[in-house]
Structure 1
Amino acid sequence: MKFLRNLLASILGFFIAIFLIFLFFIALASIMGSGDEVVVKSNSVLELDLSTNVKDYAPKDQNPLAEALELNDDKLALNKIINAIENAKTDSNIKGISIKTGSVNAGIAQTQAIRNKIEEFKESGKFVYAYNDVYSQKNYYLSSVADSLFLNPVGAIDFKGLSTEILYYKDFEDKYGIKMEVIRHGKYKSAVEPYLTNKMSEANREQTTSFLKSIWNEITEDVSKSRNISVENLNLIADNSNGRNATLAKESNLVDAVIYEDEYKEKLKGNSDKKINTISLEDYIKSGKGRISSTAKDKIAVIYAQGQIMYGEGNEDVIGQGLINKAIRKARKDNKVKAIVLRVNSPGGSALASELIWRELELAKKEKPLVVSMGNLAASGGYYIACNADKIIAEPSTITGSIGVFGAIPNFNKFADNIGINAEQVSTNNSANYSVFEPMNQKFYDVTKEGVEDIYKTFVNRVANGRNMTFEQVNEVAQGRVWTGSEAIEKGLVDKLGSLEEAIKIAAELAEVDNYRVRNYPNYKKDLKEAFKFSPFANVSKEEILKEALGDGNYQLYNNINQMKNLKGVQARMPFIFQVK
């Protein structure tokens, strides 16, 4: 009896301790979360630093512990950046913008959207200046929108045109006996090409050259307009690396002056004797300027689909039919939501998950206008879920299309033979079985190929019905080929070029509402136990550890192989291995 009493007391004491620890963390979260309110002082300059990872949608973690203990990943939300610049136009405390960022951690389409918004900001009459010690190409593209652009005397500008590098694994597979068995439809479906050959196919080279030129044309045309340099001269500057030092950059008119940072700070003051206050983009957003205030009752729902598509619930970085479909249903059933905008930023992924999301969007479209806004990527499965919208709006540099499918399965037969492993199988039926330790048999290949072909036909039919095209017309521009937004308009895959803001306005027009506010979906919640998986004293991600240990090049190789390893089922995925630089 005494033993039982002691046992119950121990159990009760354990739960009381857990409860007290929980209360301690809640109190700590409350204390740490009650910091000083950010106030925008008069005579301020908004400083844009985009070296933090920019995502289309980066909502705050609704777990107070994660926020208080700084367990969230550093990130900036594109929608909040755009809203902040819009608010700065009419904010009397903001005198101008200073673009001063070590790098631009955003995609080309996101960078172009921010650049276009800064161009709009200039219409207010307020100044935009830019300064850097060294400009990367993307950084220079963003900064070239400034009224005046400055460079450190010993600095440089990396302006050389676009290129991409693709790693091929065929010789590695042959050498070590570990390979991927691939079944695909689409001669341009190059996501799996590195596992089939040791060099780039002509079809892949054709599409890669095409979309790189299209993006480069966008960049040079924008820079040409801002810097008053002809596109022809910009290409000569790129060919000869005439931004490689400050003297050449100034002679080439890439910058207005070569000065030190202290001199730049004086220029921000202008002719004013008053003290200039700088406020970071992050703090300006925290002050409440990251959203557009509205008292309107009607709403336009913006549903963010970002990341690769995988069958399952999904999260902030992965599109799963679970979370996305819940968001679509919630927006559809909300009487105050008058239209839906699906913001897609995805290279694609699971064909099954894409079909399930397509179906939910099909149901929503029957009740409310549906508009798609494309970000950096809306390719393959990303295009699958977009194709049935009433209107599709893409950025000029969006990578889209890639209408094709494939299946990829690892095979270790040769490797097993090399190390002396023999696998024997016993089956009750003569079905199309597959073993990673045996060569793929014809029966399994035929069944899998049939599945790939069926999904490809379904995919093309979905596009044909959504875009009011014939199967043959879609098939002509499909075959897994990727297009930029500018090219996709010509092919009938996109209706108009524009930003997310433009897509929201079009959705409102289709819904015939003038006064509305934006409601963002989905909501991301973490379980309490997830917050305790991390230590506030060791807040380092697995990705950061691997990059540090392997180096960027080796990490890219590891990441490519790891993503292929995790694929399940037939894939509608673009060539995610493209790394534009």
Structure 2
Amino acid sequence: MKFLRNLLAAIFGTLIALGLILVLFIGIAAISGSSDKVTVKKNSILNLKMKTIVKDFAPKSDDPFEQIFKMSDKKVGLNQLLNAIENAKTDENIKGINIHTLGINAGVAQTQTLRDKLVDFKESGKFIYAYADVYDQKSYYLSSVADSIYVNPIGAVDFKGLSGEVLYYKDFQDKTGMKMEVIRHGKYKSAVEPYLYNEMSEANRAQTLAFLNSIWNELIDDIAESRNISTEKLNTIADNLLGRNADLAIENNLVDKAIYFDEYVSTLKSLVGIENDDTLNTIDIESYISTGKGRISSTGSDKIAVIYAQGEIIYGKGDEEKIGQDLIINALKKARKNKKVKAIVLRVNSPGGSALASELMWRELEITSDSLPLVVSMGNVAASGGYYIACNADKIFAEPTTITGSIGVFGTIPNISELAGNIGINAEQVSTNKSPSYSVFEPMTEEFRAVTKEGVEQIYTTFLTRVANGRNMTVEEVDEIAQGRVWSGTEALKVGLVDELGNLDDAIAYAAELAETTDYKVRNYPSYKVDFEEKFSSFPFSKAKEDILKEELGEENYKIYKNIKQISNLKGVQARLPYILEIK
């Protein structure tokens, strides 16, 4: 009895101690956060380093564990970056912008939006200068907007055109006996191609080359205008790698001068009118945002609601990384109940996912459009399920470099019957009825395949109907441009999948026009609430596991691991982007 009493006392003592430690940590975080107040000094330069992950929407977390223990990657909202640059135009303390980045943690469409905002910033008469030891293509594209571009004397500009790579697994499946059974609709629905073939189909190669060329043409058109180089010359530079060292980069007008960083700092000092011995005042854009410059002030009482649908579409709740129907439906209902909200803009940045979740969100958007103007703004990608939820808007805006379309569906089911046979495993089934059933240990029967194919066809037909009704097209017209084919924003405009090329600001302005309001504020949705039960269930091992895998496998192998894991977790019929493709 005494032992039990002592044991319980020890347990309670431990819990109390942990509680006190937690309170102490929260107090320390609050004190340190309040003491780090950022101010913008006179004659400051705004630094654009772009190391932080850029999301369309990245509200400040209300999770104390994340703030104390840094349990997630640091991120910044694209809307905050754009607002900060807009505010810097008229900020007397900001004399110009310095782009100094080795890489940009943003998609191509996001980068183009940022670049367009920097073009607008230059109209204020303030300067933009850029420096890097080495430019990759995305950082060079952003930096090409600068008045002058500098590179390290032993640096380079990696300017070579766009390419994409897809891994194929058919031989692996044949050798191991592990395979994916595939049911699909759409000759371009190539998400499942790696399980069926050893090489890329001609249809997939054609669509991939088409949208890569479309995106590339957008990039070099912008660079050509800023650097006064013809697009033909830029393609020649890319074909022959004529930026591969500093001398060639200067000779071909990709950069203006090769200097060391300390010399570049001296150049910046002269631009703000201080002596070389004086201290150069700089402020990172994330710190600038923390001063309140990530918002645009307005006295208007009307509101335009911007609802961010970002990430893979899953059936369920959803969070900041994934789109769940619960999250989006609740956001739409809250916006509709707010009498000050006069219109809604749905910002889509998603490769798609669960067809059922997409249908549920489509229905809520349909209800919403009956009472409020509904406008869609497409980000880096709005494909398959991402297009499904966009198709019934009053108007669809896409960036020229947006990846969209992919109107098609597929289902994948793992099968290890050959592997099981090879290692001596035999599975026997007993059923009460004759309905087609499936086991991963048995080959798929034709009866089960037929039933599953019927489900895929039904969802594809529904998808076509949703798009046809939303776009005022016939089902046959949609089917011609569907079949799972992927389009760039520019291409999508030509075939009628989008209405206009433009960014989020353009979509918001049009929504306000439909609502007949000129003085308004933007209200962002959804709000991401912390589920402490979920937080405690994974604390603190989830992050540790990720770090260990990255350390052991390396970044590239860890990406492959994540891709395989993501594919293996697919459930049900999918409406998603045809493949995992990283544009470099």
Shorter-chain TM band: over 0.9
Amino acid at match of 2:102: G
Distance in 2, Cα, partners of 1:566 & 1:342: 27
Say whether the 8 Å CA contact 1:71–1:531 is kept in structure 2: no
Q: How many residues align?
A: 580
SS at match of 2:35: coil
**Does residue 315 of the first structure (1) align with residue 319 of the second (2)?**
yes
Say whether the 8 Å CA contact 2:166–2:579 is kept in structure 1: no
Partner residue in 2 for 1:121: 121
Deviation per residue, 1:410-432 (Å, 9 max, x gap): 00000000100000000000111
Shift of 1:527: 2.9
SS at match of 1:270: helix
Amino acid at match of 1:345: N
Q: How does 1:83-482 map to 2 (within 5 A)?
A: 83-270=83-270, 272-273=273-274, 275=278, 276-482=280-486
Partner residue in 2 for 1:508: 512
Of 431-440 and 545-554, more deviation after overlay is shown by: 545-554
Percent identity at matched positions?
A: 66
Distance in 1, Cα, partners of 2:167 & 2:524: 38
Amino acid at match of 2:315: Y
Say whether the 8 Å CA contact 2:411–2:574 is kept in structure 1: yes
Distance in 2, Cα, partners of 1:5 & 1:170: 62
Deviation per residue, 1:127-150 (Å, 9 max, x gap): 000000100011101100101111
Partner residue in 2 for 1:545: 548
SS at match of 1:222: helix
Say whether the 8 Å CA contact 1:301–1:519 is kept in structure 2: yes
Shift of 1:262: 1.0
In structure 2, do the counterparts of structure 1 residues 530 and 440 end up closer, same or farther at CA, with 3 Å as the change threshold?
Answer: closer
SS at match of 1:124: coil
**Does residue 556 of the first structure (1) align with residue 556 of the second (2)?**
no
In structure 2, do the counterparts of structure 1 residues 5 and 425 end up closer, same or farther at CA, with 3 Å as the change threshold?
Answer: closer
Amino acid at match of 2:132: N
Amino acid at match of 1:551: G
Partner residue in 2 for 1:80: 80
SS at match of 1:268: helix
In structure 2, do the counterparts of structure 1 residues 51 and 182 end up closer, same or farther at CA, with 3 Å as the change threshold?
Answer: same
**Does residue 580 of the first structure (1) align with residue 546 of the second (2)?**
no
Distance in 2, Cα, partners of 1:296 & 1:414: 66
Distance in 2, Cα, partners of 1:579 & 1:26: 39
Shift of 1:92: 0.5
Say whether the 8 Å CA contact 2:99–2:131 is kept in structure 1: yes
Distance in 1, Cα, partners of 2:537 & 2:564: 26
Distance in 2, Cα, partners of 1:273 & 1:16: 57
Distance in 1, Cα, partners of 2:412 & 2:223: 42
Deviation per residue, 1:322-377 (Å, 9 max, x gap): 11111111111111111111110000000000000111111111110111110000
Shift of 1:6: 7.5
Say whether the 8 Å CA contact 1:300–1:508 is kept in structure 2: yes
Say whether the 8 Å CA contact 1:71–1:534 is kept in structure 2: no
Distance in 2, Cα, partners of 1:7 & 1:241: 71
Amino acid at match of 2:474: T
Distance in 2, Cα, partners of 1:502 & 1:13: 59
Partner residue in 2 for 1:47: 47
Distance in 2, Cα, partners of 1:459 & 1:224: 40
SS at match of 2:554: helix
Distance in 1, Cα, partners of 2:557 & 2:63: 35
Deviation per residue, 1:162-182 (Å, 9 max, x gap): 111110000000000000000
Partner residue in 2 for 1:527: 531
Of 14-23 and 96-105, more deviation after overlay is shown by: 14-23
> Which stretches in structure 1 are left out of the alignment for 5+ residues?
none
Distance in 1, Cα, partners of 2:168 & 2:43: 55
Say whether the 8 Å CA contact 2:39–2:291 is kept in structure 1: yes
Of 24-33 and 43-52, more deviation after overlay is shown by: 24-33
SS at match of 1:104: coil
In structure 2, do the counterparts of structure 1 residues 529 and 22 end up closer, same or farther at CA, with 3 Å as the change threshold?
Answer: farther
Say whether the 8 Å CA contact 2:391–2:466 is kept in structure 1: yes
Distance in 2, Cα, partners of 1:20 & 1:266: 51
SS at match of 1:60: coil
Distance in 1, Cα, partners of 2:508 & 2:545: 36
In structure 2, do the counterparts of structure 1 residues 231 and 360 end up closer, same or farther at CA, with 3 Å as the change threshold?
Answer: same
Distance in 1, Cα, partners of 2:550 & 2:500: 39
Shift of 1:307: 0.7
In structure 2, do the counterparts of structure 1 residues 492 and 542 end up closer, same or farther at CA, with 3 Å as the change threshold?
Answer: farther
SS at match of 2:578: coil
**Does residue 67 of the first structure (1) align with residue 70 of the second (2)?**
no
Shift of 1:30: 2.1
**Does residue 27 of the first structure (1) align with residue 31 of the second (2)?**
no
Amino acid at match of 1:286: S
Distance in 2, Cα, partners of 1:8 & 1:75: 43
Say whether the 8 Å CA contact 1:135–1:158 is kept in structure 2: yes
Partner residue in 2 for 1:567: 570
Shift of 1:4: 9.5
Distance in 2, Cα, partners of 1:187 & 1:484: 18
SS at match of 1:59: coil
Distance in 2, Cα, partners of 1:133 & 1:8: 61
The normalised TM-score by structure 2 is: 0.96
Distance in 1, Cα, partners of 2:539 & 2:30: 18
Shift of 1:36: 2.2
In structure 2, do the counterparts of structure 1 residues 259 and 15 end up closer, same or farther at CA, with 3 Å as the change threshold?
Answer: closer
Of 486-495 and 268-277, more deviation after overlay is shown by: 268-277
Distance in 2, Cα, partners of 1:525 & 1:541: 23
Shift of 1:542: 4.3
Amino acid at match of 2:581: F
SS at match of 1:436: coil
Shift of 1:294: 2.1
In structure 2, do the counterparts of structure 1 residues 79 and 247 end up closer, same or farther at CA, with 3 Å as the change threshold?
Answer: same
Shift of 1:292: 1.1
Deviation per residue, 1:548-570 (Å, 9 max, x gap): 32234433332222111111110
In structure 2, do the counterparts of structure 1 residues 247 and 441 end up closer, same or farther at CA, with 3 Å as the change threshold?
Answer: same
Say whether the 8 Å CA contact 2:25–2:68 is kept in structure 1: no
